[in-house]
Amino acid sequence: MAEIKLDLRHQPKDRAYAQLHSHMLSVLTGIDNDIAGMATLASLLHHAFGFLWTGFYRVVSPGTLLVGPYQGTLGCLEIAFGRGVCGTAAAERRTVIVPDVARFPGHIACDARAKSEIVVPVLDRAGELVAVLDIDSARTGTFDKQDAEGLERIVRWFAGEGRS
């Protein structure tokens, strides 16, 4: 079993995500289950970077996201496609970076401490949207293109990349 205590807060982002990715692949060796993958990834990301909320909203029926594995305070339960940051990322199947949630019309505030957010679509092997990965930070401007690239690469595990 790999060491799971990682602190990546003081690393350059490209190295941090590369480290987290290889760590995740090692922890998930032999596991072929999306929920286990989501729970593991949420925990690794949340604690390694010290985020405020880190987790998944899963597509449970057409146009509806339901909260999945996460770390943090109570998240809202259901989000319709097109609503908030998560619903926008799901409807448009693209990563959405919000540097300041106060400036995102329709942002759904689950925790008043959240200041910035990134939401990344999660696709399966067939290219179908199965979930979104949602991360909230207590500081404005936390997320940029490097976070998007790092996270988009990591969630390709759900499309089968690196699963063994």
Site residues for ligand SME per CB under 6 A: 53, 75-76, 79, 84-87, 107-108, 110, 114, 117, 134, 136
Residues 6+ apart with CB under 8 A from 89: 95, 96, 119, 120, 121, 132
Question: In the bound complex, what is the minimum distance in angstroms from residue 121's beta carbon to ligand SME?
Answer: 13
Decide whether 21 or 69 has the Cβ nearer to ligand SME: 69
Question: In the bound complex, what is the minimum distance in angstroms from residue 84's beta carbon to ligand SME?
Answer: 3
Question: In the bound complex, what is the minimum distance in angstroms from residue 32's beta carbon to ligand SME?
Answer: 27
Question: In the bound complex, what is the minimum distance in angstroms from residue 85's beta carbon to ligand SME?
Answer: 4
**CA distance readout (Å), 137 to 22, 26, 50:** 23, 26, 8
Residue nearest to ligand SME (CB): 84
Decide whether 75 or 121 has the Cβ nearer to ligand SME: 75
Q: What is the DSSP letter of 30?
A: T
**Which among 53, 79, 76, 52 has a CA at the least distance from the CA of 65?**
79
Quickly list H helices, the chain. Answer: 13-27, 34-49, 84-92, 145-154
Q: Residues 76, 108: contact at Cβ < 8 Å? A: yes
Decide whether 16 or 135 has the Cβ nearer to ligand SME: 135
Decide whether 28 or 44 has the Cβ nearer to ligand SME: 44
Question: In the bound complex, what is the minimum distance in angstroms from residue 109's beta carbon to ligand SME?
Answer: 6
Neighbour order of strands in the sheet with 116-123? 78-80, 64-71, 53-61, 129-137, 116-123, 96-98
Decide whether 97 or 114 has the Cβ nearer to ligand SME: 114
